[in-house]
Amino acid sequence: MTGLLVISIIALGSTLVILTQHRRFLESYRQEVLQTLQESQAVKSDLEQLLIQAVELSDQITAKLESQVMDQLKNTGEKGDNSPIHPQEVSNFSDRDSDGESGHYELLSEADQDLPSYYHQVLALQQQGYAIKDIARKLNMGRGEVSLILNIIQKRRVV
């Protein structure tokens, strides 16, 4: 009987030791998970801040480009330039229907109506099959500006 009691005490002691070890392991694992969660939340917060800054920078660049293009359009109008396309005519291009298959750009949707008028002009000319260099020449803009405008329009549609 004492042998059975000794074996029971040893089994109970072993069980307590094993349970204590598992508890310590689970507690350390829990701490690692909490630390990883906190780090991921910090990274998420940083990424959100970067996104906000990127959007603000994009808005600033867009506003700057808009003002430059508007100044160029005003200057072109003041010079009496015999440009084949006048700002009034170009702004009407976005209202026309186009069946042109010129890539991944489509006519402006309802959501895109808040875009500046020269965005509409660029897209309308692109829909008519004009190359970027031709659009740039017709609207008295740089090729980079035209490419940027088309990319902004495409990105707005993806988002």
Residue 114: per-residue pLDDT: 61
User: How much is the pLDDT for 113?
Assistant: 58
C-alpha span between 76 and 60 (Å, rounded): 24
pLDDT of residue 145: 87
- How does DSSP assign 18-33, residue by residue? HHHHHHHHHHHHHHHH
Q: Which residues contact 18 (CB under 8 A, 6 or more apart)?
A: none
Q: Under a CB-based contact definition with an 8 Å cutoff, are residues 108 and 123 in contact? A: yes
- Residue 95: the pLDDT is 37
Domain layout of the chain by residue ranges: 2-158
Q: How many CB atoms lie within 10 A of CB 117?
A: 16
Sequential pLDDT tens for the chain (159 residues): 788 999 999 999 999 999 999 999 999 999 999 999 999 999 999 999 998 898 889 889 988 888 888 888 788 766 554 444 444 444 433 333 333 334 434 444 555 556 677 788 888 899 899 999 999 999 988 888 888 888 888 877 765
